[in-house]
Structure 1
Amino acid sequence: MSEASRNSTPDPQAARRRAVSAFAQADAGFLDAAWQRLGAGRRVGALRGPESGLVMVRGRAGGGGAPFNLGEASVTRASVTLDDGAVGHAMVLGRDGTRAHFAAVFDALWQDETMRETVEREIVAVIEAALAETDAKRRSETEATKVDFFTMMRGED
């Protein structure tokens, strides 16, 4: 899917899910610095958290088998409100309350129609590009260790 078609997602829920996913995966320092640029003068009120807890991670053998409990993972969630009444929510993997707070703040800011394009361009696109670069690097490192196995005929039969 091209960058343009991702950013022009007609479904507003899908677009918000994509943005929230990016915020949740971003570095807390990056989000803090971005808030200093974009959120200057706005007040943020905490509705809930940040608070940490556990979630059960489930898996399926082969992708289609019966589900099984794989284990627990730490998560941190936060809900905030901006001074204009917008409410943002976030849940991040791990115990980083600062990251959960700023992810929720940017969820709320993204919902502001006047700020959405700026947040998409300066925050979401930058995060997605960094994640794609990290993924490409990981893929190339993995590809370098790839071993091709082949079967040889044995002379027994």
Structure 2
Amino acid sequence: MVLVQEADFNVQALYQDLCIANDTGAVAMFVGRVRQFTEQVDQDASFLLEHYPGMTERNIEKIVTEAKQRWPLLAVTVVHRVGELRVDDQIVFVGVSSAHRAEAFQACDFIMDYLKSRAAFWKKETSQGQSHWVEAKAADEASLERWSK
């Protein structure tokens, strides 16, 4: 399941959906939250996450398909929020289930690395009345290198 939405998500419900197969031996999940992104605490800090509807979902589905080709996964769920988000909001859920933990951990990590760099989201941070578009980070691109080996 791949969802791109403005609404928040329920981690417990998403976890339950990953446990549907009788041979589920492992579930690995990642929940990303909006952290304080300024040096000074700003209660009004927010960011706007934009996407290209249709294209973003297709990009995420390609990432999920590749993960399923690399590891024997039973279920995969990716939920990514868009719109205006504030510090402490949940922003992304990646969950995978498999028979064994190693595959679940690796696939979850792989999907998250690719989401950070290849899923077609644009982020505009606003703090203390100033806004700017966030550039891609070299560290995110470097994380992808380990999956090409």
Q: Please give the range of the TM-score, normalised by the shorter of the 2 chains.
A: under 0.3
User: TM (normalized to structure 1)?
Assistant: 0.27
Structure (1 or 2) with the greater helix fraction: 1
Name which structure has the greater RCO, CA cutoff 8 Å, separation 6+.
2
Q: TM-score, normalised by structure 2?
A: 0.28
